[in-house]
Amino acid sequence: MKLPRLIITAPGSGTGKTMITCGILQALKKRGLNVSSFKCGPDYIDPMFHREAIGVNSYNLDSFLCGRNGVRELLLKNGKEADIAIIEGVMGYYDGLAGISVQASAYDIADLTDTPSVLVMDCRGVSVSIVPYIQGFLNYRKNSHIHGVILNRLSPAMYGRMKQMIETQTGITVYGYVPVIKEGTLDSRYLGLKLPHEVEGLRQRLEHLAETMEETLDLDGLIELAVQASPEKLDSQTEERTIEKQRTDPAGQDYRELRIGLAKDEAFCFVYQDNLDLIKSWNVTLVPFSPIHDQMLPDDLDGLLLYGGYPELYAKELSENAGMRMQIKDMLECGMPCMAECGGFMYLQQEIQNEEGECFAMAGVLPGKSYHTSSLKRFGYITLKEGTVFGQEVGEIPAHEFHYYDSEMCGEAFRADKPLSVRSWRCMMSTDTLLAGYPHIHYYGNPRILQAYLDACRKWKKKEERRDKNEARRKEPERIDRSNKAN
C-alpha cells in the first residue's frame, strides 16, 4: 500500500511541534488534500486538536500500548483513504520507555514504519550551535530517518543564512521557517494543552497559521518527501497483519444486539478513536450520553463506558445532576457491566475534591475520594498483571497512567509493573461486572479485554430479557382479569 507520510518531530517538548503540525494540517486541507493525522504515543489532547479544530481524522500510534505490528496495522487501516498522513511526534524524538529507551518514541514509530521525519528546531537564542545540535540527532542512530528540519521562532532576516549554513554542513534539507506568532500559541494545563473548545478564536488562529506556513514553509517539498516514503515496510507485514486481524476478531461472537452507553461531554472526552472503531466493527451500537447535561441514561442499555477527561473541572455540574448519578449507581449495583478509566473511575467514587479543597458527591458506586495533588502520580507506561477482567483471564495488559489526581482507594485487583524498572504497585477494581481504575487501555494491546466486557454485557442483556419476560408473564393474568371485568 502506498501511503505518503511524514513525522513532524522535535528535540524535546515545548518546541512548537503541535502548533506547526496543526498549521501544516490546515494548510494541506485548504489545498484540497484528504489528510489523515496521527499522534505518536498515548496523548489524547493533540489528536483532539487535529480532529475537532481542523476536521481531519486523527489516531494514536503507540508501540507499547498497541504492539509493533499493531502500529503498522493502525497506520494502514486509518490511512488507507488519505492522500497524505501527517504524524506528530511525542516529547523528544528519541525519548521512550522509562527515560532510558527509544522504544515507544517518535523514532521508534519512524523506524517501525520507515517514515521520513522532519525536526522542528527552536531557534530562540541560537545560531551556529544549531548545526551540531542537528548533527547529534542525525548521528545518534545509523538510520535516523531524519530528512529535514523546520526552523521555528526564527526572524525572516536570518532565514536565508541559516538555511544555507545548515544544508551545507549537515546535508539535510531545510523546509522553511516559522516566525514568532503570538496568536499561534496554545495554552496548557496540567494534562497538556487546554481542550479545543476552551481556546478562544481557535479556528481563526489555525487559519492564520495555515496562511503563514503557506508563505514560509516549503509545503511542496514536504509533500514530495512524504510521497517518497517506502511502502515496503508496511506491505512486508502481510502475514503479520493477518495474525493481527485474527487477534482482534471476535471469533464469530455475535454482539450486534448490544447497546452500550458512552459518556461523552466536556468532562469525559479522553478516548482512543481506535477503541471506538473496534467496538463498532464488532457490530455494537454506541449510544452517547452526557453525565453533565442529560437527566437520565438512554433507554435499553446493556453496558456503560466511562472514559477519562476532566471530571474535576466539572465536579459541581456532575454533582448537581443527582438523577444521573443515582441512576448510574442503581444500574451498576444491579449488575450492568461498566468499564471506567481515570476520570470515569473518579466519577464512580463517592467524592471528588477539587484543587480548592471543595468536595462534590459523585455516583458512589465505589468507595473512596479522589483528590488533587501537586504532581503527576504514577506517570507513564505500565503492564497490568495478576488480575481478571469481568471474571476472565486475559493475560497481561499494556496500559498508561497520566493524572494529577489520586484516590484514597485505587484498588488491588492488578499489579502494575513499570517497564525497565523494579517499581510496581497494586491498582484497579475488578469484578464480574466492573473494571475501573486510573490506567488507560488501548484495546489493540489486548483485545480480549473488550471481548470479556462485551461477553458480560451480553449476559446482562439475556438476564434483563428473562426478567422482562417473567414480569410480562406475571402481569398477564392481571391483564386478562381486567379485560374480563371490562367485558
Give φ, ψ of 119 to 5 degrees: -85, 130
Rounded CA-CA distance 252/238 in Å is 22
342 is catalytic: yes
In sequence order, what DSSP letters do the residues of 233-266 get, joined into one string?
HHHTTHHHHHHHHHHTS-TT---TT-EEEEE-SS
Sign of CA dihedral 324, 327, 333, 335: negative
**44 Cβ contact list (under 8 Å, min separation 6):** 192, 269, 270, 271, 272, 308
In a 3-state reduction of DSSP, which class is residue 366?
A: coil
CB within 8 A of 440, min separation 6: which ones? 42, 270, 272, 308, 341, 342, 399, 400, 401, 402
Cβ neighbour number for residue 172 with a 10 Å cutoff: 19
Least Cα distance to 9 among 95, 97, 120 occurs for 120
Q: Which residues contact 466 (CB under 8 A, 6 or more apart)?
A: none
299 sits in which H/E element? none
The single-letter DSSP state of residue 298 is P
CB atoms within 10 A of CB 149: 29
Q: Contact 97/420 with Cβ under 8 angstroms? A: yes
Report the C-alpha gap between 247 and 67 in whole angstroms.
12
CA distance 272 to 334: 28
Active-site residue (options: 22, 342, 427, 457): 342
Residues 6+ apart with CB under 8 A from 125: none
Name the residues annotated as catalytic: 342
